[in-house]
A = this chain, B = another copy of it.
Amino acid sequence: MADLSTRVAGLALRNPFLLASGIWGETGESLRGAYEAGAGGVITKSIGRAPRTGYPNPTVEMYDRWGFLNAMGLPNPGIGEYPREIAIARAAGAPVIGSVFGHDAEEFAELAEAMEGAGVAALELNLSCPHAEGLGAEIGSEPEAVERITRAVVSRTRLPVIAKLTPNTHDIAALARAAERGGASAVSAINTVRGMAIDVHLRRPTLAHGMGGLSGPAIKPVGLACVFQIHRAVRIPVIGVGGIVTAEDALEYLLAGARAVQIGTAVALDGIGVFGTLVRDLGRRLDELGVAGLEELIGAAHRTEAASSGTGDAL
């Protein structure tokens, strides 16, 4: 079978499928469970300085299989208690990427240091949660802030730093360039797309917080566009996320330029077994295509485009 391993941000992964942040990532047992189900690595829930309960319920709204709206509000036990969860996942051999969120560069840097202490293999900076006041995308939509925060974190840890970017911007490439200038080893794209649902009978938003973030198949085209644009704009690698459910979806992201991908909503759609299915199906698909490994595919959609650039005779 084809070799599915990949390298990104200094991590050697057995396959490109990472558990996305905020999914199954509150407890060590769940992180371990995702890894044992086949994930190449796991990303923790975004962790902040202090414990946070998040928004009241309802925190989610599900459409047919194509879409999912959430406003969890970054619940997390706080960095003080979280290292024990990381330890459980690490004990099972899982490469753990620690996701952190904060209000400013200093807070991000402190959290990063604590995560390093807890033994994570890399950091992901949540610069992109679409529904948290003074956090996430509210700070992550300015290139200067992305650069400043990334630089602060990079200067305070030796870990590879991944900046997770928001699609709620007119120019995600500018955000990626800012992360690159700040010293990021990679960027992930995308976090959820700002969205809302309204209950017609009750005449009110269905999420307690009002605003939420859209995930699932509906945002795959948006994530692909972002990854494609970022791949053109920077030299650091991209990790694709948004709407991946099948191996075909993952291949689209690889072709757009992603060196690894994250799986979120698909866990709700198909259960944690989705990791096993993805690994099996991607392997089969590569065999069918006669492709030995991922390297040949990563970014290939750019090469094809360049090769034919409108001349009308390439095939």
> Which residues of A does B touch, CB under 8 Å?
56, 63-64, 66-67, 69, 137, 141, 166, 168-171, 193-198, 200, 202-205, 210-212, 214, 217-219, 221-222, 224-225, 228-229, 248, 251-252, 255-256, 285, 297, 300-301, 303-305, 308, 310
Contact = CB atoms under 8 A, between A and B. Distances in A.
A178 B211 CA distance: 22
Given A170-B166, A170-B168, A204-B304, A66 B69 contact: no
A252 B198 contact: yes
A176 to B, nearest CB: 15
Contacts of A204: 301, 304-305, 308
Given A56-B310, A64-B66, A195-B221, 5 more contacts: A193-B222, A196-B225, A196-B256, A198-B256, A218-B218
In the A-B complex, list the 9 residue pairs whose CB atoms are closest, starting with the nearest: A195-B221, A141-B170, A218-B218, A196-B225, A204-B304, A198-B252, A66-B66, A196-B224, A203-B300
A196 B170 contact: no
Contact of A222 (B214, B224, B229): B214
Contacts of A217: 63, 66, 218
Q: Is the interface of A mostly helix, strand, loop or mixed?
A: mixed
Given A69-B221, A193-B193, A225-B195, A200 B64 contact: no
Contacts of A255: 198, 200, 203
Q: Which of A56, A66, A171, A198 has the most CB of B within 10 A?
A: A198
Contacts of A221: 67, 69, 193, 195-197, 212, 214
Contact of A305 (B168, B171, B205, B256): B205
A69 B218 CA distance: 11
Contacts of A195: 221-222, 224-225
A229 B225 CA distance: 25
A255 B210 CA distance: 13
Q: Which of A197, A203, A228, A304 has the most CB of B within 10 A?
A: A203
A108 to B, nearest CB: 19
A251 B301 contact: no
B170 A252 contact: no
A273 B168 CA distance: 34
Nearest to A138: B170
Contacts of A166: 170
8 contacts: A194-B225, A196-B221, A196-B256, A198-B224, A198-B301, A205-B301, A212-B221, A214-B222
A170 B203 contact: no
A187 B310 CA distance: 36
A219 B248 CA distance: 22
A274 to B, nearest CB: 18
B304 A202 contact: yes
A173 to B, nearest CB: 11
Contacts of A303: 203
